[in-house]
Structure 1
C-alpha cells in the first residue's frame, strides 16, 4: 500500500511565517511601550506617595513583561511547528 498524503500540496508556510512574525513584532513593540509607560508611572507614583497608582502601574509592568515574554516564545514556537511540519 503506497498511499501517503501529499504534504507538498499544502503551501503557504512562508506566508504564515511572515504573517505571524509581523503580528508578534507589533505585540513586542506595544509591550515595550507599555513597559516604559508603566515603569515611569510607577516611579513617579512611588516618589509622590501615591501608593495605589504605584501598585497598579507595577502590576501593569509585570503584565507587559509577561506579554513580551510570551510573544518572544510565540515566535520560537511557531518556527518550531513550521519546521516540524516541513519534515513530515
Structure 2
C-alpha cells in the first residue's frame, strides 16, 4: 500500500537521509586550504596582538599608567582567548557535529 502524502512528509521530517560526505562537490580541497590559511593568518595576528598587549601592560605598569596597564591586561586576555578558540576550532566543530548527529 503506497504512503499518503502526509505520511511521506512525516517520514521525511524524521529521516531526511542527509549526511556529510567528502567528494560531493568540486573544490573541496581548495576550500580546506583557504580555511587553513585563514586560521594560520589568525594565529599569526594573535601572536602580534599578544606581543603588543604584553608590551602595553608592561609599559603601563612601569610608567604608572593604570589605564594602559588595564588595557594591556585586557588585550592579553582577549588574545589568549582568541588563540584558544583558533586552536580548538576543529575540535569544537567536531564535538558539536558529533553531538548533533546523535539527535534522534
Q: 1:28 aligns with which of 29, 43, 48?
A: 43
| TM-score between the two structures when normalised by the length of structure 1 | 0.72
Report if aligned partners of 1:21, 1:75 keep a CA contact under 8 Å in 2: no
Question: 1:52 maps to which residue?
Answer: 67
| TM-score between the two structures when normalised by the length of structure 2 | 0.62
Report if aligned partners of 2:58, 2:69 keep a CA contact under 8 Å in 1: yes
Question: 2:4 maps to which residue?
Answer: none
Q: Distance in 1 between matches of 2:62 and 2:34?
A: 42
Q: Does 1:11 align with 2:32?
A: no
Question: 2:79 maps to which residue?
Answer: 64
**Higher-Rg member (1/2):** 2
Unaligned runs of 5+ in 1: none
Comparing both chains, which one has the higher relative contact order based on Cα–Cα distances under 8 Å and sequence gaps of 6 or more?
1
Higher helix share: 1
Q: Runs of at least 4 residues of structure 1 off by over 4 A? A: 75-78
Q: 1:39 aligns with which of 40, 51, 54?
A: 54
Over aligned residue pairs, what C-alpha RMSD do you find?
Answer: 2.4
Q: Secondary structure at the match of 2:84?
A: helix
Following TM superposition, by how much is the alpha carbon of 1:51 offset from its aligned partner in structure 2, in angstroms?
Answer: 0.8
Unaligned runs of 5+ in 2: 1-16, 99-104
How many pairs are equivalent?
77
